[in-house]
Amino acid sequence: MRKSWSISLVTASLVAAGVLPVSPAVAAPPGATLAAAAERGGRYFGAGVQSYKLADPAYTAILDREFAVVTPENEMKLDATEPVRGRFSFGPADRIVAHAEQRGMRVRGHTLLWHSAQPSWLAALQGTALRDAMLNHVTQVAAHFRGRVQAWDVVNEAFADGTSGARRDSNFQRTGDDWIEAAFRAARAADPDAKLCYNDYNIENRAHAKTQAVHRMVRDFRQRGVPIDCVGLQSHFTATHPVPADFEATLRDFADLGVEVQLTELDVEGSGATQAEDYRRVVRACLAVDRCTGITVWGVRDSDSWRSSATPLLFDANGVKKPAYTAVLDTLNRGPCR
Ligand code: G3I
């Protein structure tokens, strides 16, 4: 298995030399922040971020205090980074990466290939032309962020919902079943050090066909030496898709394949004590599985969420800590229940 999750060698040496600060969130007194509490258990705690919100001091005050890892919610997606074929645009993404690096934070890249958020020129291609453009995109974007992104969601949401266990029908899938393998090999060639993740939603219940299908792919990749280091479970929980009772078992199933598991877009619809208990159960499941290396919540405040009306995050719209925050901090500080 590749090195355990760690800041890049460059960042680590700059931190050691006192050039780069250790993330304030991590350097805080043990247990005082989400990141510091997670760090005590050898995990990271991060947040999905949006570049335009970095101009909001109320937003960055929480982000910089509480989180050690950032994931651009949209700024590294296909439409943002290659809006015109062959012309790459990294400004907003670079702003997020610079913000993180100046504070000793790490970066998850999201996402090199996805059936959604595609620029129109890409969506219009098919066959060999699409396959070539897809792999060039992976290569160019991964190369641009080499040494600055510690883990990539190389492919996002490639499996169908429901009971089929089939691949999702998409333009990428129609270039041939091997598109996912090709993407991971191209990402590894462009960045030998980044952890390469497959990321998806609704794979939190081990019995579901989609979960089993992803598990089969990852097992096949590991057996054939296809470069894959982690599985990202987005972990968007709602009343109709609650935290499974056997969530820990799902994480362990993937971890037993020899890959890390990362909770990459955690949010839990609800409020009050019920929401707090759901978050507690999720964190406990991650802490119980050694290869669960970190948790990212998908936004900072409820008002920053893609589904703000569900009030799914740890801070309310005014940036006030919710009971869910306290439950997460407390559970992280207790550490793994041995
Ligand atoms: O930037 C444009 C802006 O110029 C325009 O005025 C505005 C209105 O059209 O749209 C803005 O783009 C929006 C973008 O978020 C940035 O705010 C897109 O329309 C909107 O579709 C996009 O939504 C994002 C969504 O992915 C689709 O890419 C959400 O913020 C983001 O949280 C969500 O995240 C996804 C993960 O990437 C994958 N897993 C599921 C998760 C939730 O859908």
Q: What would the pLDDT profile of 257-303 be if each residue is shown by its tens digit?
A: 999 999 999 999 999 999 999 999 999 999 999 999 999 999 999 99
Closest ligand 1 atom to 306 CA = 32
Give the pLDDT confidence score for residue 27 in this predicted structure: 75
Give the pLDDT confidence score for residue 4 in this predicted structure: 41
Question: How far, in Å, from the CA of 35 to the mean position of ligand 1?
Answer: 26
Closest ligand 1 atom to 299 CA = 32
Identify each DSSP E strand in 139-281 by its residue range: 151-156, 195-200, 230-233, 236-237, 260-268
Q: Name every residue whose Cβ is closer than 8 Å to that of residue 17 and which is 6 or more positions away in sequence.
A: none
Check if the beta carbon of residue 227 is closer than 8 Å to that of residue 185.
yes
Question: How far, in Å, from the CA of 16 to the mean position of ligand 1?
Answer: 37
Q: What mean pLDDT is predicted for residues 106-132?
A: 98
Give the pLDDT confidence score for residue 122 in this predicted structure: 98
- CB distance 306 to ligand 1 below 6 Å: yes
Q: What mean pLDDT is predicted for residues 54-63?
A: 98
Helix extents (H) in 191-313? 209-224, 247-255, 272-288
Give the pLDDT confidence score for residue 25 in this predicted structure: 79
Give the pLDDT confidence score for residue 10 in this predicted structure: 54
Give the pLDDT confidence score for residue 29 in this predicted structure: 73
Which of the four pLDDT bands, split at 50, 70 and 90, describes residue 18? Answer: low
Task: Tell the residue nearest (CA) to atom 19 of ligand 1.
Answer: 117
- CB distance 234 to ligand 1 below 6 Å: yes
Which of the four pLDDT bands, split at 50, 70 and 90, describes residue 338? Answer: low
- CB distance 307 to ligand 1 below 6 Å: no
Give the pLDDT confidence score for residue 254 in this predicted structure: 98
* Amino acid occupying residue 295: I
Give the pLDDT confidence score for residue 291 in this predicted structure: 98
Question: How far, in Å, from the CA of 25 to the mean position of ligand 1?
Answer: 27
Quote the CA–CA distance of 137 and 79 in Å, as a whole number. Answer: 11
Counted residue by residue, the chain has a size of 338
Closest ligand 1 atom to 305 CA = 32
Q: Name every residue whose Cβ is closer than 8 Å to that of residue 93 and which is 6 or more positions away in sequence.
A: 51, 72, 75, 76, 80, 81, 145
Which of the four pLDDT bands, split at 50, 70 and 90, describes residue 128? Answer: very high
Question: How far, in Å, from the CA of 108 to the mean position of ligand 1?
Answer: 17
Give the pLDDT confidence score for residue 306 in this predicted structure: 98
Q: How many Cα atoms within 13 Å fall on the side-chain side of residue 67?
A: 29
**Which stretch of 11-15, 28-32, 126-130, 260-264 has the lowest confidence by average pLDDT?**
11-15
Q: Answer yes or no: 265 catalytic.
A: yes
Residue-wise pLDDT for 28-55, tens only, equals 776 899 999 999 999 999 999 999 999 9
Catalytic residue (choose from 66, 157, 204, 248) = 157
Provide the percentage of residues in the chain whose pLDDT is more than 90: 90
Q: Name every residue whose Cβ is closer than 8 Å to that of residue 24 and which is 6 or more positions away in sequence.
A: 64, 65, 103, 104
Task: Choose the residue to mutate in 306, 308, 313 for probing ligand 1, maximizing ligand atoms within 8 Å of C-beta.
Answer: 306
Which of 167, 184, 185 is CA-nearest to residue 176? 167
Q: What mean pLDDT is predicted for residues 302-325?
A: 98
Q: Answer yes or no: 204 catalytic.
A: no
- Computed over every residue of the chain, the mean pLDDT equals 94
